[in-house]
Chains A and B, each alone.
Chain A
Amino acid sequence: MISFRGFGKTYGKQQAVRNLDLNVRAGEVVALLGPNGSGKTTSLKAAAGLVKPTTGVVLVGNPGQPSSEPDARRCLSFLPQRVAFQDSLSGQEVLNFHRQIRGVDAAHAAAALGVASLNGAVARAVSTYSGGMLQRLGLAVALLPDAPVFLLDEPTAALDPDGLEAFYKVIAKSRADGRAVLFTSHQMGDAERLADRFAILVDGVLVADIAGREMKDRLAERGNMRLRVPSLDASTLAGLRVMAPDAVFTDGELVVRGPAGMRPRVIELILARGHQIVDLVAEDGRLDDLYREMVGPQREPR
């Protein structure tokens, strides 16, 4: 449904995206992650037909057509990173206009507006909206046409917890309805909660394209178990390090890194050697950490 083929974009001398190959199928939600200035917005804008590729093509819909064709854009909805509307219009007027352009009936528009739950504010001029209200209106506009392709650039950046919850539901329903969703976010929570697949851009290069299941495995492997153990002799620690090489014991706390499946054996070994376990916490690896590992050392945005 969304298909980047060798997509590259150069602004002047600045190469924003290089040779990107990425597909988003129907019913699939893909999170496009990466540091500031890594080319996420550029890629999304190219998919929305706003930016002309310097190399390659971006196809949308089924069968895929270049998104620079107005007709091809019938199948897509785009929510820009900093969405804006004509200041003097009210939220309702903005929706009405888009409803007419998209040929959507009024009942459907009301449903889209319900998701945004702007309530009384729809009658007010857009110029009086807060950042989050604008984003909600933008979301309502994007939801209007029931388009099979969603391109959402940091859709949650300004949402409050209620807005966030409503948004998560919308995406879950979109997936169930067979839409192709490509979104960007700096909130790893969004990505973990929503994405079936994670694509990571660094300096315009796709450095990882990982399925959700694989991501889960990788996170599980990076899990931690912390045990409160009053005493631990050296030979037991050595025994543990056969299973988990970087197990450490300091101040009565034993930290064992490794997959979840290893944990019962760790516990068994400690107990079998006659040590006591006072307390125990186990956690999966964090996406933030994995993300940092994949992105590499922090650098200034270009």
Chain B
Amino acid sequence: MNLRLFAAEELKIALRSRWTQIFAVVFAILASGVAAAGYVISGGHGVQDFARTSASLVHLVVLIVPLVSLMLGVLSLSLERGAAEVVFALPVSRRTILLGRLLGLFAALALAQSFGFGLAGLLVYSQSGPEGIGDFVIVLGASFVATAVFLALAAFLSADAFGRRRTRALALALVAWVVGEVFIDLAALGLATLLPSGAASRVLILASLLNPIGALRTGALLLVEGTGAFGAASLALLRFTHGPAGATTLIACSLLAWTLVPAFWAGRRLERTDI
């Protein structure tokens, strides 16, 4: 009951937020752009179908959704001190409040993404029909997973961020994004060139499994494209798991852990914070 109230309230607030609205529009433009790109590049003859659009969309999702989830998550969850004092003095546990608000934020971001995917989907459908639409839905699913993972991380970062400490949480979120997006992959590749091939491939496997952004990218591409367009790291992962099924399972476990563990620690940290 309380959970639902907090979720509904947060959804309402998030949908009114300029940031969510801007995200929805920008995401719709980018997704439609990706969908139209292939069509335009091929001179209007070749048609960018759902399958090819989906593969390109994976990269867009993996780049933008973590950033937006982190930023919007921290901005919304880290309340002004006076507002936090009102909310946390209510007869509702801090974990319930946090979970409710996370669910509301998730719903808002999922709606915004569905809006973008919907527009892009209509565009593709009008050009090339429904073929490969399953892949498109998978990418939307991956986008939801990314939202869940990075909202949980945002919750962890903002668990003790009230008033002035918000800025710090926001900065940490940005750092986390840069690290996940470029730093880990670069570091792993650099390290791999220095190591003997066995150890090198283990490093690459770890980088694409333990880094949620790498795991998302690998997992989504695996489901959408199969193994055709894989890079070194993903191929090493496939060899390690003896095929796509094992790889998918491991990636799913990694992402589930990346959602549940930060969310759990966020609740714990929030319970222990003075407000």
Q: Which residues of A contact B (CB under 8 A)?
A: 11, 45, 48-52, 70-74, 76, 78, 80-86, 88-89, 93, 97-98, 100-102, 138, 141
Contact A83 B89 (CB under 8 A): no
Closest to A71 in B: B91
Separation of A101 and B93 alpha carbons in the complex (Å): 12
Q: B76-84, B111-119, B122-130, B223-231: which lies at the A interface?
A: B76-84
Contacts of A84 in B (CB 8 A): 80-83, 86
B85 interfacial by beta-carbon distance below 8 Å: yes
Consensus secondary structure, chain B interface: helix
Q: B88's contact among A11, A50, A88, by CB below 8 Å, is which?
A: A50
Contact A78 B89 (CB under 8 A): yes
Separation of A45 and B82 alpha carbons in the complex (Å): 11
Q: How many A-B residue contacts, CB cutoff 8 Å?
A: 70
Known pairs A50-B275, A78-B86; A88 contacts B13 (CB<8 A) = yes
Interface size on B, residues (CB 8 A): 23
Greatest chain A CB density within 10 A among B2, B89, B96 is at B89
Contact B81 A82 (CB under 8 A): yes
Separation of A48 and B91 alpha carbons in the complex (Å): 10
Q: B86's contact among A52, A88, A138, by CB below 8 Å, is which?
A: A138
Q: B272's contact among A52, A88, A101, A141, by CB below 8 Å, is which?
A: A52
B194 interfacial by beta-carbon distance below 8 Å: no
Contact B89 A50 (CB under 8 A): yes
Known pairs A71-B91, A84-B80, A101-B90; A50 contacts B272 (CB<8 A) = no
Contacts of A48 in B (CB 8 A): 85, 89
B5 interfacial by beta-carbon distance below 8 Å: yes
Contact A76 B17 (CB under 8 A): no
Closest to B15 in A: A88
Consensus secondary structure, chain A interface: mixed
Greatest chain A CB density within 10 A among B83, B85, B96 is at B85
29 A-B contacts (beta carbon < 8 Å): A11-B274, A45-B275, A50-B85, A50-B88, A50-B89, A50-B274, A52-B274, A70-B91, A70-B92, A71-B91, A72-B91, A78-B85, A78-B89, A80-B82, A80-B85, A82-B82, A83-B82, A83-B85, A85-B83, A88-B13, A88-B16, A89-B12, A89-B13, A93-B12, A98-B90, A100-B5, A101-B5, A101-B90, A102-B90
Separation of A97 and B80 alpha carbons in the complex (Å): 18
Contacts of A52 in B (CB 8 A): 272, 274
Separation of A76 and B272 alpha carbons in the complex (Å): 21
Q: B275's contact among A11, A51, A89, by CB below 8 Å, is which?
A: A51
Separation of A101 and B100 alpha carbons in the complex (Å): 13
Contact A85 B5 (CB under 8 A): no
Contacts of B80 in A (CB 8 A): 84
Contact A141 B275 (CB under 8 A): no
Instruction: Return B78 CB to nearest CB of chain A, in Å.
Output: 13
Instruction: Return B35 CB to nearest CB of chain A, in Å.
Output: 32
In chain B, positions 1-58 with a C-beta closer than 8 Å to chain A are: 2, 5, 9, 12-13, 16-17
Instruction: Return B82 CB to nearest CB of chain A, in Å.
Output: 3
